[in-house]
Structures are given as structure tokens and as C-alpha cells.
Amino acid sequence: MSGLACRVQGDDGDTVPSGWHIAELDDGGRLVRLAAAPDDLAVVLRELGTAVHEPS
């Protein structure tokens, strides 16, 4: 990834572009990190919130 500033996030060693945002979610007691561009992360979190509140 030449020209992009990246940072390591988590124990897996994957890099995340420095302009991305990271959400930390609780999945039944397990920490889940979700990284995406700010606008994309907002959409994903909005959709996840909708999915959680929809009746089964």
C-alpha cells in the first residue's frame, strides 16, 4: 500500500488505513472490531442497528 498511511489494529497484524474509523462492538461478550471508511462505517452500523431491531 504505497502512499497510504496505515496502522495496525488488533492482534492479527492486519493494517487499517489511517483515515478509517473503527467501531468496537459487543457480540454476546466477544469484542468485535469493524473498520471502514467513515461514511461506509456509518452505513454499516445503521444497517446493523436495523437488523438487530427487526422482528424475527
Give the strand pairing for 15-17 and 6-8.
Answer: antiparallel
- Cα angle: 25, vertex 26, 27; to 5 degrees: 110
| pLDDT > 90 in the chain, percent | 12
Please give the pLDDT value at position 32: 85
Please give the pLDDT value at position 50: 77
